[in-house]
Amino acid sequence: MLIAQIKQDLISYQKEGRPEAVSSLRMVLSSIINKEKDKRLKLSSEYSDSELELKSKLTEEEVIGVISGEAKKRKDAMFEFEKAGRLDLKEKEEKELKILQKYLPEELSEEEIEKIVKQVIEDRGIKDMKEIGTLMKEVIEKTKGRADGKKINNIARKLLS
């Protein structure tokens, strides 16, 4: 399981003395634990304590979603740091992003994303920008963390205009 791999890598990075990697993985594990707590809280009224423990564990897909969210934060921070001329902080975020990408599925190419967007447009009969929300929701669901939302949005807008 992905969480076990992250924990194992965290121990390895600690032994190797890689503080950036340790920090990144601790942050991801913290985000995963918070997501599990949120899930447990939502389910707490429906299940007994013994069932709740099992039901609140994150699936691989949910863990990938958390890691994708952390990776997106790094990308956004890189953009902002570059804009502010803080290349030292941008470089730090790049290193953290590389560490996180190890745990994410390979990103889809623009051609693959375009193919998925075209398929959803065809299946749903979407004709204009009014329905971009529906289109985005379905494409994001189909790509499951393997494509950046901005990239999907740009492709969708290009195809709908």
Global pTM value: 0.79
Closest residue by Cα to residue 43 from 33, 51, 64, 34: 51
CATH of domain 110-160: 1.10.10
pLDDT at 1: 83
Whether CATH 1.10.1510.10 fits 2-101 = yes
pLDDT at 87: 94
pLDDT tens-digit readout, 101-138: 999 988 888 899 989 998 988 888 888 888 888 888 88
Domain ranges (residues) in the chain:
2-101, 110-160
pLDDT tens-digit readout, 35-78: 999 998 888 888 877 788 888 889 898 999 899 889 989 999 99
